[in-house]
Chain A
Amino acid sequence: MSKKFFKTMTMGILIFVMVFSLAACGNKDNDKAKESDNGGNDSSSNEQVTIQFATYGLLEKATEKFYTKMAQDFEAKTDVKVEFVSYPYGDLKQQILIKANSGDAPDVVHGESSAFSSYLNSGFIEPLDDLLGAEYVNDIYDGVRKAMSDGGKLYGAPWICSTFLLVYNKDLFEQAGLDPNAPPKTYAEMIKYAEKISELKDKDGNKVFGLGSSTASVPVSGENVLSTMLTFGGNIYNDKGEVEVDTKGNLDALKFYKEVQEKGLNPEAAKLKDLRNLMAIGRLGMYFDQVWGTSGVVGINPEIKDSLAVAMIPATDATDGASLLAAHELHIMKDSKHKKEAAEFVKYITSKEVLEEYYNTTLPFIVARKSVNESLNLNDNFIDPVKDSMTQVIALAKQHSDMENALLEITSAAQRVTIGNESPEDVVKKLDDKLKQVLK
């Protein structure tokens, strides 16, 4: 065996390995492409139709069983197979948009209100009016329908919903000499209640906070702060649909944050999960959260369940209480080859029968379809005080693709007046400039 022969052999093997591995990659991609082309097959063929449902629900312990059963029941009813495309909660939106961009979109997507503007402005989701029918669409509460529409067309079907609500601890109300069955009706009353609760100490001598309103650097805190702005009669858009933030309502909302900070009523710059923890350990009297947040509180401390209650957002001089919609919503993708079956699936999982089971096996929520909400039999009076909360929903005039960024700027404004110690008058002007830049 000569040296030359070994050199030639080595080179030949290396080149072969490289070409083979590249070819293998190519084949894999082709196979994948074929799979996605055939994904679910054509409705016109005799084969069973498969629809892909992108969600994080299967990855979460609390909902995994329910989602699996829901898909099996739908298949038994319609002979349409549901295939889950699972991503963790935090990755879902970007993964779906990347998949859609590469022509590999699922049929139905489990979205949520904070990501709605991103989905809408991506252009990958289908209007639902014709697919779901007028009867279904008109059954949705007006504010909710507007919040999920653009140009008069519905782009998301509300699945499980909530507004921001006032969650409170009845035991702490009693300890502070307040009526546990009479939550505050106005913001002024709420601050008085919070002051009384703040005088309490827990059994270890730790401070009890009167009121929690999340202002951390996350979009959901921005939704909470914006809901406060709406309650005070503010908004980020004026009647003409232009960005206008330097208004009395928004200024009053920032003054409210300043006041509760100065009085030491609110845990500063807290995330919702911090507030849930504090509520669970009996160190928070009231806080703003979506109704399903209460299951997080009970998850931390099951013993607190009977002490928890929810109430509608209190009124101000400007409004009877207002909130952005917080919703898990369903989108049908433009590239879906089975839109009819996808729409059937959406109708099925937003039906009375499925929602009752969802509520009883997972977590509390409000239903955004009038007929279903009125006829729902939950064997649970927990959400009765807030059953009409969907009427408090205010939809923003526009769905901008940079809305999540705008929400982060809104939380920054709340942080400026609280931990930053800036004046509400200066901050509202800064926010006006910033949002005009972000939402241009």
Chain B
Amino acid sequence: MKAASEGNKKSTRRFFKKLGREKHDRIFAIMLLLPAIIVVGFTTFFPIAKSVIMSFFNYKLKANADYYWNDFLNYKELFQEGEIFTAIGTTFKFMIITVALIFVIGLILSNILNKDVKGRAVLRSVVLLPWIIPTIVTGLLWMWIFQPQYGVLNYLLMKLNIISDPINWVASMKYALYSVVTASVWRQIPFITIMLLAGMQGIPSDLYEAATIDGANSRQCFFKVTLPMLSNVIKSTLLISIITNFKQFPLFWIMTGGGPVNKTTTLAIMTYKNSFVNLNFGKGAAVSTIWLIILIVFSAVYNKAFKTARD
């Protein structure tokens, strides 16, 4: 028994000697990473793969339901009905406007907070407030503000004689999307501000001193020093914001439910309605697969564009 285990040990040692040190370390590294890879695979890639596979099947939440390959019927129906195109358009419109606004406002705010202004500590705390509030509460809060008959926004606008009659912000074909954009911008400004501020504080002060000695004014310092030095932070922060707004669901569901007349129906709302209102998980998965492809393509193009701009 003892002799056999000694033999095993020897053969293992011989095996690793043959491999060489480098390969041996590589195998060891893989073994160390394996638990994490398995866990991430199970928790992330497995559900994604399952969702993609589901999108090609008839998959309804029914007793004794037949789950069968349905010859791309989920996709055919989506493209025939045509609402998916409107939803993609609305999703992009919402995402672009929101990200543009939070970036510009966040940049201005972080620039102010980066300077030695009075009450900077208080300002930093105040800026963080919307980020602390849960999204659902944010939605309800803004619905209350936008309420046409007794909402504070209409009250103020009418008191200031800016409007003569109350506007139904959330239920208006014209303003519904922008109402959700407003709530979303308010909620996300702190995140982008803090990220950019952290980036700004990492810029060495001697770069500004050198620029000033060379005769650069504050505007030139901002465009020639601050922005280039922030490019990595901007790149990752913008990408996070793009993804966050691309999949924005709670604000839409609480504030508009995708209405009026589907004016605020995004891909997230479409996925939810198909899966949890109609209980058609196959069709819901098809919407989310299309959504996933769009996001992957968009991220790839985005990264390429950033790389090209930097080069």
- Asked if residues B261 and A218 are in contact (CB atoms below 8 Å), the reply is no
Query: Please, how many residues of chain B have a CB less than 8 angstroms from a CB on the other chain?
Result: 33
Q: In the complex, which residues of chain B have a beta carbon less than 8 angstroms from the beta carbon of A415? A: 171, 259-261
| Bound form: Cα–Cα A416–B173 in Å | 9
User: Is A353 located at the chain interface by the 8 A CB criterion?
Assistant: no
- Asked if residues A269 and B63 are in contact (CB atoms below 8 Å), the reply is no
| Chain B residue nearest to A333 in the complex (CB) | B63
| Bound form: Cα–Cα A137–B257 in Å | 37
User: Is B62 located at the chain interface by the 8 A CB criterion?
Assistant: yes
- Asked if residues B149 and A124 are in contact (CB atoms below 8 Å), the reply is no
Contact flag A122-B61 (CB < 8 Å), given A14-B35, A274-B147, A419-B173: yes
- Asked if residues B81 and A437 are in contact (CB atoms below 8 Å), the reply is yes
CB < 8 Å: which of A18, A268, A281, A404 contacts B35? Answer: A18
Contact flag A405-B259 (CB < 8 Å), given A10-B32, A268-B168: no
CB < 8 Å: which of A18, A274, A408 contacts B149? Answer: A274
| Chain B residue nearest to A269 in the complex (CB) | B171
Secondary structure type dominating chain B contacts:
loop
Q: In the complex, which residues of chain A have a beta carbon less than 8 angstroms from the beta carbon of B260? A: 217, 269, 412, 415, 419-420
CB < 8 Å: which of A101, A408, A437 contacts B61? Answer: A101
- Asked if residues B61 and A217 are in contact (CB atoms below 8 Å), the reply is no
Q: In the complex, which residues of chain A have a beta carbon less than 8 angstroms from the beta carbon of B39? A: 18
User: Is B273 located at the chain interface by the 8 A CB criterion?
Assistant: yes
| Bound form: Cα–Cα A15–B28 in Å | 13
- Asked if residues A217 and B149 are in contact (CB atoms below 8 Å), the reply is no
User: Is A27 located at the chain interface by the 8 A CB criterion?
Assistant: no
- Asked if residues A216 and B259 are in contact (CB atoms below 8 Å), the reply is yes
- Which residues of B in the span 254-275 have a Cβ within 8 Å of any Cβ on A? 256-262, 273
- Asked if residues A100 and B35 are in contact (CB atoms below 8 Å), the reply is no
Q: In the complex, which residues of chain B have a beta carbon less than 8 angstroms from the beta carbon of A408? A: 257-259, 273, 277
Q: In the complex, which residues of chain A have a beta carbon less than 8 angstroms from the beta carbon of B168? A: 268-269, 419
CB distance from A331 to the nearest CB of B (A): 13
Q: In the complex, which residues of chain A have a beta carbon less than 8 angstroms from the beta carbon of B256? A: 217
CB < 8 Å: which of A11, A100, A118, A123 contacts B28? Answer: A11
| Chain A residue nearest to B269 in the complex (CB) | A217
- Asked if residues A411 and B259 are in contact (CB atoms below 8 Å), the reply is yes
CB < 8 Å: which of B65, B147, B172, B279 contacts A419? Answer: B172
Q: In the complex, which residues of chain B have a beta carbon less than 8 angstroms from the beta carbon of A118? A: 279
Of the candidates B63, B81, B256, the one having the most CB atoms from chain A within 10 angstroms of its own CB is B63
- Asked if residues A267 and B279 are in contact (CB atoms below 8 Å), the reply is no
- Asked if residues B171 and A216 are in contact (CB atoms below 8 Å), the reply is yes
Contact flag A14-B32 (CB < 8 Å), given A121-B62, A217-B260, A420-B260: yes
| Bound form: Cα–Cα A386–B198 in Å | 64
- Asked if residues A15 and B35 are in contact (CB atoms below 8 Å), the reply is yes
CB distance from A172 to the nearest CB of B (A): 15
| Chain B residue nearest to A124 in the complex (CB) | B63
Interface string of B47-72 (1 = CB under 8 A from A): 00000000000001111110000000
- Which residues of A in the span 1-29 have a Cβ within 8 Å of any Cβ on B? 7, 10-11, 14-15, 17-18
Q: In the complex, which residues of chain A have a beta carbon less than 8 angstroms from the beta carbon of B64? A: 123
Q: In the complex, which residues of chain A have a beta carbon less than 8 angstroms from the beta carbon of B257? A: 216-218, 408
- Asked if residues B273 and A267 are in contact (CB atoms below 8 Å), the reply is no
Q: In the complex, which residues of chain B have a beta carbon less than 8 angstroms from the beta carbon of A437? A: 81
Q: In the complex, which residues of chain A have a beta carbon less than 8 angstroms from the beta carbon of B259? A: 216-217, 269, 408, 411-412, 415
Q: In the complex, which residues of chain A have a beta carbon less than 8 angstroms from the beta carbon of B31? A: 11
Interface string of B66-103 (1 = CB under 8 A from A): 00000000000000010000000000000000000000
User: Is B212 located at the chain interface by the 8 A CB criterion?
Assistant: no
User: Is A283 located at the chain interface by the 8 A CB criterion?
Assistant: yes
| Bound form: Cα–Cα A359–B32 in Å | 64
Contact flag A94-B147 (CB < 8 Å), given A7-B28, A217-B259, A415-B261: no
Interface string of A68-93 (1 = CB under 8 A from B): 00000000000000000000000000
| Chain A residue nearest to B275 in the complex (CB) | A94
| Chain B residue nearest to A7 in the complex (CB) | B28
- Asked if residues A268 and B171 are in contact (CB atoms below 8 Å), the reply is yes
Could you name 7 residue pairs across A and B whose Cβ atoms are closer than 8 Å?
Answer: A123-B63, A269-B168, A269-B171, A270-B171, A274-B149, A419-B260, A420-B261
Contacts A269-B259, A283-B150 supplied; 18 other A-B pairs, CB < 8 Å: A11-B31, A14-B35, A15-B35, A124-B62, A206-B149, A207-B149, A216-B259, A217-B259, A267-B149, A268-B148, A269-B171, A269-B260, A270-B171, A274-B149, A404-B278, A412-B260, A415-B259, A416-B261
Nearest 9 Cβ contacts at the A-B interface? A217-B259, A269-B171, A123-B63, A217-B257, A18-B35, A415-B260, A124-B63, A97-B61, A94-B276
